[in-house]
Amino acid sequence: MNKPLLSICIPTYNRCEYLEKCLDSIVLQREFLDGEVEVVVSDNASTDNTQVVVGKYTAKYAQVKYFRNDTNILDYNFPLVLSRATGLYRKLINDTFYVLEGELEYLCDLIKEHKDKHTQLFFLNQNRKSISQELIECNNFDRFAEVACTWTTWNGSFGLWDFECENIENDTAGCDQKLWVCKKVYELVNKKENALVCNKRIFGYQPLIKPKDLTYGIYQVLYLNFSNILGEYIEKGVLSEKTFCNVRKEDVYIILTDALITSEINQKAAAYSENENLKQLIFNEVKKSYSWKEYYSYYKRRKVATIVKMHVKKALEFLHIWDIIVALHIRDR
């Protein structure tokens, strides 16, 4: 059997409601049906219906493969799922994603274009307005760190080539810090002469069905642990102090502030650590390292914008439901 061009690697745990939509978005696209794409699911000993849900796909498609771990091995499941794939390029994605229509073709074309050079491909999935290009070439570590910024902490940004997966299940540095992808991508970019950052929306995010688990400590992981990993490259002489400070600032302003605002206005959206006072930690860091006046004004504007957006969304949902009720009433007259 020929090696698949692309392996979509999905670590999962107790998210069968999300996983079904994720798999549907893949198996209906032409590249999967033509055999260019395989799907590998590595189940972290789920106690819900994950095995049953995936079983519907493995029974129908030979390219869907299911593995179940005996116990929940947490972040060690990330290198493990990549080791279980067979594709030329192996793309890690979250089980809460779905692949947008036509984007498997985009991914496959990108892989074909860069398979001989083994370019380090990195996916922002953001359409960041501050970046005008769809593909950004980064010819050194400092430039990559500047463009990729805090998205290196996100599992869905990551992929690597088949030869880079030899014994990768034993390459677990960063798992205990809950930043295996972050540590690995920096390691790979530092070894290579070229990295390509894709500033294009490839995946969609499913609406929350149940709270996201952030009890691991979002400030500890996404600020302190992240800063420690990135800071290693200052010592190696490949990262400037200026870029390091800019990335940390964006981490505070975007990632941590969004988490704080979500916790304040929609407490059911995520479960946060009881050992972290996120607001106090962020505010203390700002007062120590940045302009408090500038940050607090930004924080208030972003909070108001988030609240307005939430109310607009609810209003649109209500109008949609009302339109359905009216249509049914007219039909039944």
Per cent of the chain over pLDDT 90 is 82
Q: Which of 23-27, 93-97, 192-196 has the lowest mean pLDDT?
A: 192-196
pLDDT of res. 23? 98
d(CA 313, CA 45): 35
Average of per-residue pLDDT across 34-44: 97
32 with 106: CB under 8 angstroms? no
Residue 221 has pLDDT above 90, yes or no: yes
Q: CB atoms < 10 A from the CB of 330, how many? A: 8
Considering only 155-159, 199-203, 270-274, which range has the smallest mean pLDDT?
270-274
- Say whether pLDDT at 82 is over 70: yes
Q: Is the pLDDT of residue 185 over 80?
A: yes
- In CATH, 6-205 is 3.40.640.10: no
For the chain, what is the mean pLDDT?
Answer: 92
Res 120 pLDDT > 90: yes
Q: Is the pLDDT of residue 69 over 90?
A: yes
Give tens-digit pLDDT for 235-289.
999 999 999 999 999 999 999 999 999 989 887 778 888 889 999 999 999 999 9
R_g (Cα) of the chain, nearest Å? 21
- Read off the pLDDT band of 291 (50, 70, 90): very high
Token digits of residue 322 = 């009302």
Average pLDDT score over residue span 79-84: 98
pLDDT at 11: 98
Specify the pLDDT at position 58: 98
209 vs 96, 190, 220, CA distance in Å? 10, 38, 26
Confidence at residue 74, expressed as pLDDT on a 0 to 100 scale? 96
Is the pLDDT score of 330 beyond 60? no
pLDDT over 60 at 296, yes or no = yes
Q: pLDDT tens-digit profile of 303-314?
A: 999 999 888 877
- Render 17-44 in DSSP notation, one character per residue: HHHHHHHHHHHTSHHHHTTSEEEEEEE-
Domain ranges across the chain: 6-205, 214-315
Q: Pick the residue with more confidence: 205 or 330?
A: 205
> Which pLDDT does position 316 carry in this prediction?
72
Rounded mean pLDDT, 191-198: 92
